[in-house]
Structure 1
Amino acid sequence: MKSSEGGIKYARNKKVHYIPAKPPKRDKRVGIYCRVSTNSLDQLKSLTAQVFGLTRLVAATPQWLLVDVYMDIASSKTGSSPREFARMLDDCQSHNLEIILTKSISRFGRDTVDTLEALNLLKTLGIRVIFEQESLDTADTDSDLMISIIESIAQAENKSRSENIKWGIKQRAAQGTSKLYNRKCYGYVHDKEGNLIIKDDEAKNVTKIFEMYLHGKSVIGIVAELERLGVKSPTGKDKWSKRTIDVMLSNEKYTGSVRLLDNGKYEAVYLCEDNNPAIISKETFQAVQIEKTKRSNVIKGENGVQRKSKKYSSK
């Protein structure tokens, strides 16, 4: 076929073959770090979800190359660093990683101090850390700002954790399932089911202590009498402390009733009557509380709480 300008032949309607551009080389070595606090089923599902989500994120980023996945199941109360976290830091120091990808700040370190120490080390090594949930990248975030963010998140999480614990304690107290109802004290032991039963020899001493107090003996006088009689303390020692006697004289459990959350931190108090066998009567217990108030050197007047000039003393 000739052109009108010089008879040069050329092809029409030829099939064009497109050569794709070379994909970016995956040369940024990435490590994924995931952590959960327990090995419960829910936590293990969370661990799986973390790994799956972060692996997809690496795969979707052309220049990233997944080198390793580090997974810890470690309690925040553990004294030593989780093994996989330590292995990851070793790999960073060996320059096997350039980027660390993790779900969130709370999943990175055990606490604020742990997190900040690790980040300072990684910054020194030139390692970039990305927190997916908070959309934070240490490569783009000022160090002071990062510290401020981490501390703020830690404070919020601690408050939330504290509220959850308080809520759990309250719920168990309200439902009567709290183990605190059957917490052992001097005069009682647990049966096979974990219920409180009277320990006879100690119960006799409890009764004696209440009687001595009502008959005019001071706490110091009761301590001296118990030591003279050779009665061992609740911890098996020859010496009794004033604090131990004072706590016993205020322990309502000896009447068979247990009062929980009576410390001002909760809006409700839970009283479980007939929780355990009684060692002393309710009347005796109330009489002791009245006597303790009489002997106290603290009085309430128009100007608030004041102390008497002299404290009640009885031999």
Structure 2
Amino acid sequence: MAKKLDPQEIEQSRRKKTRADNREERKERIHDGIRKNRESGGVIVIPPPPVVQAQGQTTRKMRVAAYVRVSTQEEQQVGSFEMQIVYFKSKIESNPDWELVKIYQDYGVSGTSTNKRQGFKDMIDDAKAGKIDLILTKGINRFGRNTVDILNNLRTLNALAPPVPVRFESEGLSSIGDGSNNLLIAVLSALAELESQQKSEAIKNGIRWRMAEGIYQFSVINTLGYYWDHFGRLLIEPTEAKIVEYIYESCLEGATPAEIAAALTEQGIKSPKGKDFWRAATIRGILRNEKYCGDALMQKTCTIDFREHKSVKNTMLNKYFKEEHHTAIIKKSDWQKVQQILDEKPLSGKSTRLHAMPKRFTVTRSKDKYFRGYIILDPRWTASERRELLKELKNL
């Protein structure tokens, strides 16, 4: 039978050694183990076997793609966009071991969400299809400014077989590497999102300041009868203004929005968005729009989440109203009569016989991008219609 232990003796022996003594003993054991290992020849490192190339088989080049993006269509961004394309094309084609797949592009699209970035989505789809081995991009803020989107897409690419790494040129990081790289990418992604949020708030504050001062250039891209020229002046487009006058006159004569829409469709007049078919809701929106009597109500809508860019009806923030902000197409008194008509109806079921537009053709001006203010010509116009147009333009 084993000899009984003396618990008091054991506890006294334990108490003699402090924690510091125990730490020193562990350190000494570690150093002693390292010394003995080295004296005995050390550990032999066995590398993996080399890949044996089959006879007659050539080494496949790495298929490399690049992603470039700028968030606005301003002229100063054009240079950055083109330089990114030239840089990556040159970098990939100058490497004998690389093969250019494609330069995926998104021009004038925000990076806060991937929903509207078609070039980005095409690149992810091609990577999933096994067409890409490596992706190059300028920086994390080019890949996206939404932390969730960035990390989710990197995880998707890393989970492919084989994984597709993303190399961020500005930060000198690769999405496939040690844990410190992954942590750093997550931190930088969060910083990029914060930067995007701060820029969004700065832009909104600037817009609201211009609204309060009455100098904000609201969009008229889908507004009939007006266009901004290159000098920042809001001008009347004469031929489109005739459509607006026709709509208001028809309403004052008793026609419903549905009847006006049907009449314009029948006459072959294009809608504000260039459609062949007019909707009653479009007519109602034109009749309710205060801009046609020269006033401007600004911030009717607002964007709640800078990531989604979804515009909603403004019920939370200040609106800004400026009377006689610009030249009117419709007299104020007529506009007010139309508002009373719309407020008092459901309109009667009587059908109103509408007169036709006096013109068989209308012209439009480009309202955005580089050709803003220029007239869009229709090759189907007759010579007399062209002369009539030139005559009207000279009278402006």
- The alignment's TM-score, normalised by the length of structure 2, stands at 0.40
- The alignment's TM-score, normalised by the length of structure 1, stands at 0.49
